[in-house]
Structures are given as structure tokens and as C-alpha cells.
Amino acid sequence: MGSIRTVIVDDSAFVRKVVREMLSHSPQIDVVGMARNGQDALQMVEQLKPNVVTCDLLMPELDGVDFVRRQMTLKPVPIVILTSASQDACRVLEALEAGAVDFIQKPTALANDDLLAMREELIEKVKAAASAPMPALALVPSPMAPAPPSRPAAHMDIVVLGISTGGPQALRYLVPQFPADFPVPLVIVLHMPMGYTAPFAEKLSEISRLPIEEASHGCLVQAGKGLLAPAGRHLSFKRNGNGQVQVQLSLQPANKPHRPSVDVLFQSAAETYRERVLGVVMTGMGDDGRQGAAQIKAQGGTILTQTEESCVIYGMPRSVVEAGLSDAAVPLDSMAREISKRL
């Protein structure tokens, strides 16, 4: 790909200017237009045919969510949502449901360090969005899609799943396909900022037969229940005096680029459940999950990775495949069946 043609949409002239300056630090990104609201943006996208759009969430005339919905029906284009920390997490999740590829939080204070961190993240997300297949995960299962039949005896004791960019969309497709009597616990790490994991778990539970909740410290890990690691805490496991497995939430280790970390989840699953672990690595940037996958494999467990064609970003699965740790690469539309088969 040549330069990444980008359109910036925001009702604040100041924010448009700041975002343009940020993106100008990458020689690969070319800002070709700036729009004040979703209505203007629809026309601009049609005229300028950008590779990526960055879009504010709250705008007059046509807000971010409605812009994403309208744009996806006209001509799907990768959209990265910009949101303020104070804004409604549910609206951000709606934008992702509507087809946005990713989102980024604007810093609360316009301190130089915060802006610098956001600049790096924004450039990375725009570059990643540019290579996302469009429409990103257009697969929409019929509500409560028929689940693969569950088996009474499980060969595995737990399914642990790591996912990042494109994760909310993929999980909304995958999890509703599992039955209510899913024979083992399902524990998920999804990279998300603080304040998003609880509402996302709630939304996921609403459309699924398998109950999903945000994990809390000390809660039991049980078959037929899904747990989502809360943003800002690593999730690991500990057996109590009765032999039951409980969730441990911690700020340690501090040296991981993500908290929660897929590596921490996978490593703890391998230590706790030995060879009876099914690890699943799905769409996302970076290589979180590779070290953990190696530890699951070392104990004799199994690793599935999502195929490149069905990922929004192939980074995390690619790192596992290239390390020779994947037992099978599975497309998103077959993942529920493959997981159930291996239990």
C-alpha cells in the first residue's frame, strides 16, 4: 500500500488540528480531508475515497455511531473512533457493533506526555485499520445460532481465549454459538481500556446462552460460565482448600505491555490445569499470547489460532503460528464448532 489516505472527523477545529499534527508524524499517513460532523464526512468519504477515517463519537447533525452505520451501508471503510474518557462506553461499543474497527481514548489532560502516548497509539491504530479487511467481520450469526452439541465428558478442563483489535466484533459472533451447558469454564482476556469490560460483558451475556460476566477477585471458575478479565488487572488462577479454582486479580507483573495480559492468563492456566487447557488466540495487534501459548504447549495442552483472512489484525495469531505453537488455524465462522469438537 502507498500512503494511507485518511479523513479526520471531529466537530472541534482544535481537535481536528491536533489529530492532523499527530498523524503527520508518520510518513505513511496522508490526511486528505477533515470534516465537522458525520453528515459532511459521508460526502467527503465518497469524494476522497480514503483508506481510513478517524471519527469523534459525539457530534452534531450526525454522530459517530450513526456515521459508522450509514457509511457501512454505503461503502465499508475502516473507521477508528476517538472518544473522551467521560463518554458513554455503551456508545463506543455500539460503534464497534456497527462496524468500526477500533477506538482510542483522547487524553483527559492535554499534557505533552499524554499526547505523545496517544500519538504513537493513534498512528499504530490507523496503520492497522488500513490493512483490516472490509467490512470488518460482516459475519452476523442469527441470534442464538444453533450450537454444536456439547459432550458430557470433556477432554479439556478450561478454554482460555486471548483477543484484541477486532475482538468485540469477533466475540459477539463467537460466544452466542456456545450452549448454556458449555462443559468447561471459558475465560477471556480482551485488551480494552478501563470502564469498557463490564458493559461489554453485560452486552455479550444478553445475546448469549452462556452467561458471561466481568471476573471479580476470588470468584469461582466454573463450567457453563464465561468470565471476562477486567481492564487494568491481570487474571490468574489459584486452587483453594476445597480444590476449587478461584480467580486472582493483580497489578503484577508490571512489565507487561497489556493489563490484562493474555500471556499471564495462559501461563496460569497451564500451571493450574496442566495438559487439559485449550488456548485460543484470535484477532489483535502485537504478540501477547505467544509466551503463554508456549507454556500451554509445554504442559501438553492445545492451541487454536484464528486464520489470517478472518482476522481484523493478524498480529497475535501470527506470532503464535510463526513460533510453531498452533495446533490448527481456524476461520472465525468455524471457531465455535472447532472449540466444541476439541472439548
Q: 93-106 pLDDT, tens per residue?
A: 999 999 999 999 88
Banded pLDDT at 137 (limits 50, 70, 90):
low
Calculate mean pLDDT across residues 282-307: 97
For the chain, give the mean pLDDT: 91
Q: Which of 69-73, 150-154, 207-211, 333-337 is least confident? A: 150-154
Calculate mean pLDDT across residues 102-124: 79
Q: Which of 7-11, 49-53, 109-113, 292-296 is least confident? A: 109-113
- Catalytic, out of 208, 261, 288, 340: 288
Calculate mean pLDDT across residues 288-309: 97
For residues 252, 257, 259, 263, the Cα torsion angle rounded to the nearest 10 degrees is -80
Count of residues for the chain? Answer: 343
Indicate the CATH number of 158-342 among 3.40.50.180, 1.10.10.60, 3.40.190.100, 2.60.40.420.
Answer: 3.40.50.180
pLDDT value of position 142? 45
Banded pLDDT at 109 (limits 50, 70, 90):
low
- φ, ψ of residue 277 to 5 degrees: the values are -120, 130
pLDDT digits 0-9 by tens, 156-188: 999 999 999 999 999 999 999 999 999 999 999
pLDDT digits 0-9 by tens, 220-278: 999 999 999 999 999 999 999 999 999 999 999 988 989 999 999 999 999 999 999 99
Residue 343 · residue 184 · CB < 8 Å: yes
pLDDT value of position 111? 58
Does residue 12 carry a catalytic annotation? Answer: no
Calculate mean pLDDT across residues 186-215: 96
Higher pLDDT, 33 or 147: 33
pLDDT value of position 134? 78
Residue 234 · residue 258 · CB < 8 Å: no
Banded pLDDT at 133 (limits 50, 70, 90):
confident
**Bond from prior residue into 260 cis (ω within 30 degrees of 0):** yes
Does residue 288 carry a catalytic annotation? Answer: yes
Q: Which of 83-87, 119-123, 264-268 is least confident? A: 83-87
Does residue 164 carry a catalytic annotation? Answer: yes
Residue 166 C-alpha cell reads as 477486532
- Catalytic, out of 10, 157, 191, 287: 191
Indicate the CATH number of 4-130 among 3.40.190.10, 3.10.20.600, 3.90.1170.50, 3.40.50.2300.
Answer: 3.40.50.2300
Q: Does residue 17 surpass a pLDDT of 70?
A: yes
Domain boundaries, the chain: 4-130, 158-342
Contacts 24+ apart (CB under 8 A), 300-303: 300/274, 300/275, 301/156, 301/269, 301/270, 301/273, 301/274, 301/275, 301/276, 301/277, 302/156, 302/277, 302/278, 302/327, 302/342, 303/278, 303/279, 303/327
Calculate mean pLDDT across residues 299-323: 96
- Catalytic, out of 164, 208, 236, 319: 164
Answer whether 4-130 and 158-342 agree in fold. Answer: yes
Banded pLDDT at 147 (limits 50, 70, 90):
low
